[in-house]
Structure 1
Amino acid sequence: MTDAPAVPKNPFSDIAPALGKYTDKVLFGDVWKRPGLSPRDRSLITVASLISGYRINEMPGHMKRALDNGVTRDELIETITHLAFYAGWPTAATAVGIARKVFEQADTERRG
């Protein structure tokens, strides 16, 4: 066994191999590795866009990625609070619930 973290399986590859390939190679390869923004900044922008667009399926994974890329929990919560006035209160309330679960999962993984 190795101590290296397991690479998460692409959620599209089993049923939509081309979409999985584009996600891995283009989105998380080319787009996320462009030098104009840091991964931290890309994560914050992505999370803000997902909150504003009420993309609840994608929020948990990108919130976790944001934490891994150096965005703090306080910054995520401040982003949600700020967006309540631009994207709507219900949208922010939903994002808080998602953030809570992401934080709890991160705490569990850290202790585990």
Structure 2
Amino acid sequence: MSESALNKRQIAIIPIAAQTASGDIDGLKVSLNKGLDAGLTVNEIKEILVQMYAYTGFPRSLNGLGAFMGVLQERKEKGIKDEIGKEASALPADYDSLQDGTANQTQLIGVEVKGPLFDFAPAIDQYLKAHLFGDIFARDVLSWQDRELATIAALANLKGAGSQLGSHYAISMHNGLTEPQIRAFIEVLRQTIDEQTATDAAQVFDQVLAARR
């Protein structure tokens, strides 16, 4: 499948998220440079790296942000002027992270999220709704489609996260990513991460498609 199903910005998001998830800082620095050259703004990349903490933990996110600071300094010393990009819009004064995050989650996924896991640990349900979908997904620096692309890239390169990857493939398609685009995503993983990661990601995607049919 040709990468042409994705645009340059989308292609650039994939290794940034995936290498942040795995802690491949040397590879990440290369991908950060390529991302800036492909048209991602400084604030868009920062937003990707910040979002990663919700899926891969603070250490990976902080290391990614530190690497990005270094890349920007090196580019500045070379006389490269990178576009900063827009900041996140201010939220309404009466914004309620839990209430609005629940609505965001339902819209993003297509159904209200319930289940035994969330009954067993209601705190994680509240954190997901209020913080991830309320605080993070409410920020409009990135589209939800871009955020989902970053999410599946991170999960694909995170060992033991196949179930979550499958769920987010379905969420990605619900939010407009097409089957050819996800096939192209897998090919970007093959070229920028490794063959096994791409093969595993393709296997999970095939299972998702089979279930949908």
Check whether TM > 0.5. yes
Candidates 134, 155, 158, aligned match of 1:29: 134
Q: Is the 8 Å Cα contact of residues 51 and 80 (structure 1) preserved in structure 2?
A: no
Q: Deviations over 1:39-97 (max 9, x none)?
A: 11111111111112242121011000000111111111111111123322111111111
Q: CA RMSD in A?
A: 1.8
Q: Secondary structure at the residue paired with 1:42?
A: helix
Q: 1:58 is matched with which residue?
A: 164
Candidates 153, 166, 188, aligned match of 1:48: 153
- Unpaired runs of 5+ residues, structure 1, are none
- Unpaired runs of 5+ residues, structure 2, are 1-109
Q: 2:208 is matched with which residue?
A: 102
Task: Specify which structure has the bigger relative contact order, considering alpha-carbon pairs within 8 angstroms and separated by 6 or more residues.
Answer: 2
Q: Is the 8 Å Cα contact of residues 40 and 66 (structure 1) preserved in structure 2?
A: yes
Shift of 1:29: 2.1
Q: Is the 8 Å Cα contact of residues 11 and 20 (structure 1) preserved in structure 2?
A: no
For residues 208 and 113 of structure 2, what CA distance do their matches in structure 1 show? 16
Is the aligned partner of 1:73 residue 2:73?
Answer: no
For residues 25 and 105 of structure 1, what CA distance do their matches in structure 2 show? 30
Give the structure with the higher percent helix: 2
For residues 74 and 11 of structure 1, what CA distance do their matches in structure 2 show? 34
Query: What percentage of residue pairs aligned between the two structures are identical?
Result: 29
For residues 33 and 11 of structure 1, what CA distance do their matches in structure 2 show? 27
Give the structure-1-normalised TM-score: 0.80
Q: Structure 1 runs of 4+ off > 3 angstroms?
A: none
Moved more, 51-60 or 91-100: 51-60
Larger-gyration structure (1/2)? 2
